[in-house]
Structure 1
Amino acid sequence: MVYGHKIDKNMEIWKIKQAIKALEAARGNGTSMISLIMPPRDEISIVTKMLGDEFGTASKIESTINRRSHLGAITSAQQRLSLYYSVPHNGLVLYTGTMVTKDGKGNGNTREVLHKFTVDLPEKHGRGGQSPLRFARLRMEKRHNYVRKTA
């Protein structure tokens, strides 16, 4: 049993080292990333209030891109903090925000078009006297085929 405990501890140390390497390589634009370091005896409610105040201040940023990235980082930090009831006995470090990749683009903000195709879904039939149920059934069938094609 002692040997298994040593392997688990070594694995945890290795995971922490890998996380630190990834964090060292992380870069962000301006205020799009937040580093939050809380000592062991700090109160989560105080830090949450501070983030709320910062959210109010950040919503006055004129640049749309900077404002959105800053507000997104603050919201993410607030959501992460809501998972904790108190600060762990060895403290809490929280890194959140939008990272910029090597090619200068933010993670999750890039799209790659894999395939394009046209959509020809029929609209509602407006004329009376002709089978509305049949037209509704044809509409639903074409919509179902479109969903299957895209999926």
Structure 2
Amino acid sequence: RMMSGQVDLSRLAHDVADDLRKECPECNVEFAIEEGLVAQGDQRLLRVVLYNLISNAWKFSGKQSKPVIAFGSTRQGGKATYFVRDNGVGFDMKYADKLFGAFQRLHTMAEFPGTGIGLATVQRIVHRHGGRAWAEAEVGKGATFHFTL
């Protein structure tokens, strides 16, 4: 059952960033987290969304000399669109439709470990909140994952 309330997404993003830093203190990843982002939703589920998107960004930008991960929002017509952006390996947009399928992987396990279910989980949770999720990227220039709630 989904619980709904006011969720401080900025706080959740900071929590996820702190968890990732603890796992890899020597990883020199810079975070740019927009403050004051609050949404209606299930805090536990939205933490899963942010954990999956931010840890993905961490994984795919870790090989950069100066990895930067941003979490923020844009507003259109009074509706917020949230994003997680990285300057990592990116991907070819022709595979964008595969990204959110369960067990779909664009990289080998040797290159980047993972289960292949993180983005499918993100999409399921975002849909349950009445929103949608999509991605934009360029090979070698990073990726941006967007979602609405």
Task: Report the TM-score range of the alignment, normalised by the length of the smaller protein.
Answer: under 0.3
Structure number with greater CO (CA < 8 Å, separation at least 6) is 1
Quick check: which has more Rg, 1 or 2?
Answer: 1
TM-score of the superposed pair, with normalisation by structure 2: 0.27
